[in-house]
Structure 1
């Protein structure tokens, strides 16, 4: 979502206009809905039998490892007999995305209905491939909030800025209306531990039972919304030869060296064996699925009816003994600082993890956050920033990166959006704690009420934090002109803690620091 912020700000500065209307609102799409009764499918029989063993309506399993997250999706695609509903913001053209598409096509070939809903900003110009897929009788493809100019789509940020810069950021995957995955991951190598340069630290949750049908209801709202336009209206219609060509390309990608190496890594997963043997353990709990209504994209920014944010407000307004916040793009605003300060003053431990400038993929977004660091620390918040953790094994002499196998990565970046309250409530979703997620884009998430799961997530988070992040503090000194407060980054994996940097973003390039300084001068926080 960070790249979108760059595009939005650039075009907002150029255009100076905030009005416009969509060009595809008159398109009439045939409605379709989740297949309700799938209890007689293989997934349905197994999950129904398991559900009857528990009092709580839904079972959950966290997917923190990128390999686990991809393997789970792959096996669900292979197990599906009736339907696959897929909704994503970004859909890359790389190794894991091609594998993902290949297995979608395999499912369609054996009679599974596939509905693929993508935001029009995030598919990387793959209209020809998507149009060819839609020629399959069992595959339907729609693009959400499509750009009206199909040749120069970014011109819409000038001609219809008010709608064009607001995107569908939801991520959901549903198999047979029985198992669903939501969370932070899009479809692409960086999300599934397959990129040789950068891998995102991310989190999804797999849910079965009542949770899956709730995610299906949310998917249907978006699929049948007037902003969800069938690909045939947006790209030249393909033919049978086009589908054959795509099938050939996907087969070649699956058997290529990169794909074979990646699939071999999946074979060693313990989770894969558990899934195949039906021994995967779930935490059964009450939950609340929260999501923005799709009308959020076209409603006024000030109109928060149908937003998920009010559903979170009650939780955020409550007093807590502990709050752990993970958000890759974190811009709390003055209101957020006051909220966290109130929690601390009431006796809570408040811990926040976000990206450091060196780990952040968009320095502009970091600029919006940087001004709140000192106020947060003064309020008593424990503020941590993920460090990039370069791997010297994939660098050439002189520091230049070189290709390696798929297991290697030179840079880590935070992408998980998670909150844990009082070791009893866990939030997992697509929403960052920033103005764009709260006010502009659409998001989805789930509140899971399970002490064991929340406690486990908290324990792992706190144990791993010093190894993967720097803690920020303020060092006060007295100069001839008065008191001076400097930010200090501390490595707490050592004892005593080792200072890493003082008033200078550690391991960040001069270019990143310059961008952060420059964008920090602009009044653009509401767009980030």
Structure 2
């Protein structure tokens, strides 16, 4: 009898879960919206207008390498907004960085700025209440991309609806007044902006003005109005709004007071970029650009002929002399490895920078990558793996603390560069949606390569083959290492164990 009761309860729970999953949230009240032309008195638009007029049909960029500078750039743009803010991210953490940024966003909404927040749903667990409160402001809308329909059974829905839920929006952009944008590899969280004692993601963004901005806005509009982008109100219908405008105003004041004594805010005030903004001494690099991105329909496994992979394949195949590939998650696959080997044997100088086993934050990715190192090295391709604890440099690509590479950048012939969210792996190519900017300026691209190369000895191990076996050269300390450096026995064991399973297509 007890066993029958247990079965009955299990069946009842399963029935309720499947019923919840089958009910697609109603989007009847969802309205389309598009980029706004900046108001005549937009300080940002008026500031960049003379620069743009001097460089017609070109894009001006400033590299954001240092985590503090990258965060200051976002805050400064949001603070200057008087028309619109479009915010699009894969991860948005409810930590100091996330709170400080959203405080500035709320402050902008209070000034009358229209705010559109588009987040991927996979990493927004437990944020429904806060997002619903945020969306209660008349100037703020919040949507979640490809969300779980059953908010209480997200884990189960991911299993039963894996083919849909597995496809995520990995795009990252922040656009202000349709006049300036930031595109790159960073999500929103302490670890991306040099405010995490345990790990610091070395990353790279471009702050851009000019021709690319409107194209980034077009990309945002497509995702915002896509069928798979759901208003938070349609998903969190069972949750009551805990805030009203008066409470939001009080929240603003409380957050402001809290951040006045925050150590991170004190460090932000020392940002070199902040000083340049104050001095009006920012230096923009100008050139032609293309904004490339997957269509949002990729989340429904549609329009494959228009996926970003095609654009990047053409971009990479145009290289004549050398290619620098920087990718934290590097899983080239058998076909990709064959292509790289053919190019190297044809005379192309290829350098790959990725995470070491000790530095990676996704062990499965290293398991998928490690078997491709030897054939790549044998073809003459140079591979560098980022140390988990490199010598800290203010402009280091790999950061400080326990560092982990997170930048996704490809440089061709020291003339053209791609900066975006795309990792050199099957997940970016075939599953997640991605975006980025291709920028053409030889001086800029050359400076990026020189900057990376100058830090390699301090921050990476150079891989080589000795008597048929992999070795790691620590050029900073003039040491040869004969096993995965900095990784303990269990980490090595787990990487080898995971490598036994056929998971590559999901990496």
Q: TM-score, normalised by structure 1?
A: 0.87
Distance in structure 2 (CA, Å) of the matches to 1:30 and 1:470? 52
> Residue 148 of structure 1: CA displacement?
1.5
Is 1:77 paired with 2:78? yes
Higher mean C-alpha displacement, 110-119 vs 151-160: 151-160
Residue 386 of structure 1 contacts residue 469 of structure 1 at CA under 8 Å; is this kept in 2? yes
Partner SS for 1:372:
helix
**Cα gap change, 1:449 to 1:259, in 2 (>3 Å):** farther
Partner SS for 2:54:
coil
Partner SS for 1:52:
helix
Partner SS for 1:371:
helix
Q: State how 1:128-527 maps to structure 2 within 5 Å.
A: 128-235=129-236, 236-239=238-241, 241=243, 245=247, 248=250, 251-256=253-258, 260-299=262-301, 304-389=304-389, 410-476=401-467, 485-494=468-477, 497-499=478-480, 501-502=481-482, 504-527=483-506
> Residue 237 of structure 1: CA displacement?
4.9
Distance in structure 2 (CA, Å) of the matches to 1:308 and 1:458? 24
Structure 1, unaligned stretches of length 5 or more? 1-20, 393-407, 477-484
Partner of 2:14: none
Distance in structure 1 (CA, Å) of the matches to 2:308 and 2:22? 24
For residues 301-351 of structure 1, the C-alpha deviation after alignment (integer angstroms, 9 at most, x for no partner) is xx6222011011112223421111000000011222222222222322211
Distance in structure 2 (CA, Å) of the matches to 1:311 and 1:125? 36
Distance in structure 2 (CA, Å) of the matches to 1:513 and 1:294? 37
Residue 191 of structure 2 contacts residue 201 of structure 2 at CA under 8 Å; is this kept in 1? yes
Distance in structure 2 (CA, Å) of the matches to 1:259 and 1:201? 26
Distance in structure 2 (CA, Å) of the matches to 1:153 and 1:203? 32
Poorly superposed stretches of 4+, deviation over 4 Å: 37-40, 242-251
For residues 235-287 of structure 1, the C-alpha deviation after alignment (integer angstroms, 9 at most, x for no partner) is 14544635655655564444337962111112122211222333211111100
Q: State how 1:9-158 maps to structure 2 within 5 Å.
A: 23-24=23-24, 27-28=27-28, 29-38=30-39, 40-158=41-159
Residue 99 of structure 1 contacts residue 259 of structure 1 at CA under 8 Å; is this kept in 2? no
Distance in structure 1 (CA, Å) of the matches to 2:242 and 2:122? 27
**Cα gap change, 1:53 to 1:145, in 2 (>3 Å):** same
Q: TM-score, normalised by structure 2?
A: 0.90
Distance in structure 1 (CA, Å) of the matches to 2:23 and 2:327? 34
Distance in structure 2 (CA, Å) of the matches to 1:154 and 1:269? 41
**Cα gap change, 1:457 to 1:149, in 2 (>3 Å):** same
Higher mean C-alpha displacement, 291-300 vs 216-225: 291-300
Distance in structure 1 (CA, Å) of the matches to 2:342 and 2:256? 53
For residues 430-459 of structure 1, the C-alpha deviation after alignment (integer angstroms, 9 at most, x for no partner) is 010000000000000111010011000010
Residue 77 of structure 1 contacts residue 107 of structure 1 at CA under 8 Å; is this kept in 2? yes
Q: Paired residues, what number?
A: 480
